[in-house]
């Protein structure tokens, strides 16, 4: 498959590209040119959240092969002051980084499906597969990470609504129910277990290759 990753330069996106690139072609949408060699082919679109169509335009300009699947590894993790105390500006910034980014990624998947409709009809290819990554914060009221909880919960509904409204994109969500190993931002005091990137990559591959065998929202535990 040709897989497009949003958030490719982040810890999870980078790890997924490394583990999936052996079997798939990986293109990463990034805001700036990576300094080091990457396991994905970087496509630079600085304002992709504001202008999702710019991703389509850049892929067309580069004459990229049709995209089969999209991974939205958008957002991150932090522990800070209480959500209300952080103020409306911080809340808006988190909205832009998380939920708005996932909405833009969905818009790209819809546009990709339209672009590849004729090719898919001729070749019998499956729909574009779209997988959004989410976490345990979407199910729990995480103190110090309130906005992540709010937008994580809303993200699942975004995916469910998008799935209900389209016949051309298979929307799925993977909730990773523990911190992902190797990320220094994780607070692992108290013996918190982590999920390895290879295990996440294996789950991602399973959902993308066999979306019909998975619920719209799937949980990955330790």
**DSSP letters of 17-66?**
HHHHTTTSEEEEEESS--SS--SSEEEE-TTTTT-THHHHHHHHHTTPPP
Is residue 191 pLDDT above 80, yes or no? no
pLDDT value at residue 75: 82
Is residue 146 pLDDT above 70, yes or no? yes
pLDDT value at residue 201: 96
Q: Return the SS3 of 87.
A: coil
| Cα 7 from chain centroid (whole Å) | 7
Is residue 190 pLDDT above 70, yes or no? no
pLDDT value at residue 116: 76
pLDDT higher at 79 or 9: 9
- Residue indicated by tokens 């209480």: 82
Is residue 9 pLDDT above 70, yes or no? yes
Is residue 211 pLDDT above 80, yes or no? yes
Sign, CA torsion 86/92/96/102: positive
pLDDT higher at 200 or 182: 200
Sheet strands side by side (includes 169-176): 41-44, 25-30, 2-6, 69-72, 128-135, 169-176, 217-220
pLDDT value at residue 144: 86
Over residues 25-49, the pLDDT tens digits come to: 999 999 999 998 999 999 999 999 9
How many other CB atoms are found less than 10 A from the CB of residue 162?
Answer: 20
Is residue 81 pLDDT above 70, yes or no? yes
Burial classification of residue 183, based on how many CB atoms lie within 10 Å of its CB (0-12 exposed, 13-18 middle, 19 or more buried): middle
pLDDT value at residue 42: 96
CA 70 vs CA 111, 133, 134, 140: distances in Å:
12, 11, 14, 26
How many other CB atoms are found less than 10 A from the CB of residue 81?
Answer: 12
Distance between CA atoms of 148 and 63, rounded to whole angstroms? 36
Q: What is the CA radius of gyration of the chain?
A: 17
Lowest-confidence region among 100-109, 145-154, 174-183? 174-183
What mean pLDDT is reported for the chain? 90
pLDDT value at residue 122: 57
Average pLDDT over residues 131-155: 92
């Amino acid at each position: 498959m040709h897989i497009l990753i949003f958030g490719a330069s982040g810890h999870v996106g980078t790890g997924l590209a490394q583990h999936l690139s052996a079997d798939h072609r990986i293109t990463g949408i990034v805001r700036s040119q990576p300094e080091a060699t990457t396991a994905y082919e970087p496509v630079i679109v600085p304002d992709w959240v504001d202008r999702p169509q710019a991703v389509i335009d850049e892929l067309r300009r580069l004459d990229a092969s049709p995209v089969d699947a999209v991974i939205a590894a958008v957002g991150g993790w932090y522990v800070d002051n209480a959500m209300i105390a952080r103020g409306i500006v911080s809340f808006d910034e988190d909205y832009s980084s998380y939920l708005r980014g996932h909405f833009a990624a969905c818009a790209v998947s819809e546009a990709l499906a339209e672009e590849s409709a004729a090719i898919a009809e001729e070749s019998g290819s499956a729909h574009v597969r779209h997988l959004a990554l989410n976490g345990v914060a979407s199910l729990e009221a995480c103190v110090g990470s309130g906005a992540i909880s709010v937008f994580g919960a809303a993200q699942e509904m975004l995916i469910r609504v998008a799935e209900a409204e389209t016949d051309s994109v298979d929307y799925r969500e993977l909730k990773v129910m523990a911190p992902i190993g190797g990320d220094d931002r994780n607070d692992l005091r108290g013996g918190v277990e982590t999920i390895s990137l290879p295990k996440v990559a294996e789950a991602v591959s399973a959902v993308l290759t066999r979306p019909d065998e998975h619920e719209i929202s799937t949980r990955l535990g330790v």
